[in-house]
Chains A and B, each alone.
Chain A
């Protein structure tokens, strides 16, 4: 033994999983939705996603003065998630500004990964909605054209403000909408990967979607219940946004409360607010409550209260 023995405090084994691995898993989970977006909206969708991701990674690299462009992968995830919340073809500079805001103001200003209070992608989107709302709503929705990679697209109203839409179309995704929001099927396939890898559990999506369904059911029957789950950003929000690790609670009970809160605010905005969609602000508001929720839902320690059952 030429070299000296290494001494460190136990445990001497560590799981191979790291942050970059988790971020890559999230990117993998978004592949079905991304493919669906390109399938429905063609090259424009691809450009929007690439611009969002490159702008996000570049912003982070500049702020952190690092040469490793991909880094821990979290900026790429933020960029892609932001793109998923945008219509197929807003001007490229709107997309880029969204990513810059998401990373700079949504994340790095707080101290970087792990320190941010609000979901960065949704911060980016919120700023875009407020500042360039005309590019994000109204007449920019495009009618999907399957396999029409370079087809000309025509505008069409979003299902949330349109007449009755077929639930099957909503599930498959052949409806106008944001890139990642149209296909519940693609999102579920991706989320299954995250469940399998143990990165998300049922509580947040379950609470979120459960409340959305109950509200929809009460407001207009079974169709409305299912419609509110499938239309708009509810699925993307419940499976990919609200489950963002950094900005959601860590306690089991807290996760459920958080999910229910997100769904509640979403539906209040959809049904009674002036905006057609409430997922973004529902999640952002609950993000702000996360530390409070964690502190009010500290788990019962092993052996506490429950004593001998002999």
Chain B
């Protein structure tokens, strides 16, 4: 059988040695958490607590303002000191709940084990995911219960657990598979049950052979009555991109502009699977997550369980602080992560990694002319022409950019990575996408 993969992509190096194999450790809860009330794609939440209220761990503090949204829970017990605007990792400051930690870690009363998985109906599972505030933990933060509720005329036959972890540096998913393989499998079964899917697939890049072995062992031992396969995938970025993963594992191609459900598939990150397992087994809402704190700019890189709303500066301090030559702070991986102007931003549900790069990696390049080498065309996983879209956007010819497929770009950045002329192709494409969509709204 040929190797499971997709056409295109790049090999930017692994850089996983900083944290690969390191156990997941909890960090000391901070004296204060600042929890933004918008942590998912879709609608924000509104506060259901007030200044001065005492809250407990796992207590709901934000109620969704729409269907495509997820509630937000307190990550420490203590007193709400302020509800006000604070900086957000995605850029625009949003309303946030400030909680002073009383150090007691008192658990909210409503939290406790649910019924066994076999006794839960699909609707109950979806409700648990919704109440627990689950969102896609790979970084996209799409509300999980929405993905679990496809329209009636679409039958989902396959659930894919995305454990590719194709971004360099990040090892949170890897660590979860080594330590929590049973919960990954449990979460997958819950998704399959909720969606009445007959097949489950766990896709892992082949640079994590120990994780593949761990998952295969668990699946062999514990998946009676379920058709579940562990797939070893070529290690290539962006193998973990939704459409690429579906192509690699099932051979199906999601049409341009469509969602995975168009080919009867639902993707879930393996961190999300573990979170769903916890929500069912323990009744635990999503108020903490595994974060890879890594990079040459971190003194002691580690895989950590971080409470929602912990400031990045606090996490970095608990990892021994920054090296003197640290220059760039990125939330997420080096290819799709967001650079931050300050360490004073909170860790949120979508924070998969805190990556600090040093001088050596932070280079400025002069933009050269396109020499039409076509290397961006070769690596584009969507089979677009990034060089032409980029040049069209550079000249502000958005109609031409659209003709070349700007809107089908999901911004993996392979083109910019590859371009020998150091042209900011994906950056231009982002501008084109924004302008095209903005002009449509008019």
Contact = CB atoms under 8 A, between A and B. Distances in A.
A19 B368 contact: yes
B377 A307 contact: no
Interface string B161-194: 0000000100000000000000000000000000
Interface residues of B, number: 72
A196 interface: no
B342 interface: yes
Contacts of B416: 11, 14
B422 A12 contact: no
Contacts of A115: 369
B329 A5 contact: yes
Interface in B358-409: 361-363, 365, 368-375, 377, 381-385, 387-388, 404-405, 408
Given A12-B330, A302-B408, A72 B368 contact: yes
A1 B322 contact: yes
Contacts of A21: 420
A298 B404 contact: yes
Interface in A83-121: 112-115
Contact of A11 (B256, B334, B375): B334
A308 B371 contact: no
A303 B413 contact: no
Given A12-B330, A22-B373, A112-B369, A307 B404 contact: no
Contacts of A251: 374, 377, 385
Nearest to B321: A1
B243 interface: yes
B157 interface: yes
Contacts of A303: 243, 253-256, 258
B377 A299 contact: yes
Contact of A250 (B326, B335, B374): B374
A199 interface: yes
A18 interface: yes
A308 B264 contact: yes
A42 B273 CA distance: 72
Interface in B318-364: 322, 324, 326-330, 332, 334-343, 357, 361-363
B340 A5 contact: yes
Interface string B253-278: 11110100011100000000000000
17 contacts: A1-B324, A5-B327, A5-B343, A7-B339, A12-B328, A12-B334, A12-B357, A18-B368, A18-B420, A19-B420, A72-B368, A113-B371, A245-B371, A250-B385, A308-B252, A310-B250, A310-B263
